[in-house]
Amino acid sequence: MTITESNRVFLAPADYVDSDHPRVRESAARLAQGAVTAASIACRLFDAVRDIPYTAPDFDRLDSFRASTVLAEDRGYCVAKASAFTALCRAAGLPARLGFADVSNHLATPRILELMGGDVFAWHGYAEILLDGRWLKVSPTFDSALCARMGVAVLTFDGVHDAHLQPFDQDGRTFMRYDKMHGTFHDVPARFLAAEMKRLYPRAIAAIRAGEFVPPARMP
């Protein structure tokens, strides 16, 4: 793969995307073992991060955004898991960066929608990886078990096409929609995200702190 000067930065480690951490480097090497193409390595990394259990975010603990922490604790929400995927890609020699967007989640539980004040989830985190000269968008957010509970197909990545969040559930109902793109970043803007989520969703944050905010289940 030819790396241009403008894309070299997306191979560099960062504070939260800590691709130079021994745990990240060891995980990337193990997952990439035997893969012969950049795309096949990327697909392995995607599958591994996707099936890390999805949990409620912890905005009071900024370390939870760090890739090495996600791998050590085997849990995370969208931003944390995107951070882990991006770090693994960089450790494997694949340029990657973070992206953020506001999304509408039409199949969240009534309790979550109440706490969030609607179905818009601001600053959803995803990742972009450079393969064959193209930046592909991927969302390794929802693990297989959670997808089964939500009644949506598990998201797969083929190394050729974007793998955004699923637009429909298994019954053809609208599930997820990207509403507003916020651009791409070299590292997780953790302090901003923590402050912004507390500003936008005070009731949800209070529920998270009380242990009352759980991942969505399949709607009846």
pLDDT at 164: 85
Task: Label residue 169 by pLDDT band (50, 70, 90).
Answer: low
pLDDT at 106: 56
**Domain extent listing, the chain:** 5-209
How many DSSP H helices and E strands does the chain contain? 9, 4
Give the CA angle between residues 23, 28, 30 to the nearest 5°: 95
Calpha distance 143→48 (Å, rounded): 9
The mean pLDDT of 167-183, rounded to a whole number, is: 77
Over 90: is that where the pLDDT of 20 sits? yes
pLDDT at 1: 59
CA distances from residue 32 to 123, 205, 218 in whole angstroms, order as listed: 30, 37, 34
Calpha distance 217→201 (Å, rounded): 20
Q: Report if pTM > 0.85.
A: yes
pLDDT, one tens digit per residue, over 59-98 is 999 999 999 999 999 999 999 999 999 999 999 999 999 9
Q: At what angle do helices 78-91 and 38-50 cross, to 10 degrees?
A: 150
Q: Scanning the structure block, which residue is given the tokens 């370390």? A: 63
Q: In the predicted model, what is the mean pLDDT of the chain?
A: 90
Task: Label residue 149 by pLDDT band (50, 70, 90).
Answer: confident
Task: Compare 34 and 169 and report the one with higher pLDDT.
Answer: 34
pLDDT at 176: 74
Q: Which residues pair with 76 in a beta bridge?
A: 54
Calpha distance 129→1 (Å, rounded): 13
The mean pLDDT of 2-27, rounded to a whole number, is: 92
Structure tokens at 173: 């109902």
Nearest of 78, 219, 208, 220 to residue 142 by alpha carbon: 78
Calpha distance 105→119 (Å, rounded): 5
Task: Label residue 219 by pLDDT band (50, 70, 90).
Answer: very low
pLDDT at 81: 98
Judge contact between 120 and 103, C-beta under 8 A. yes
| CATH no. for 5-209 | 3.10.620.30
pLDDT, one tens digit per residue, over 44-59 is 999 999 999 999 899 9
pLDDT at 220: 37
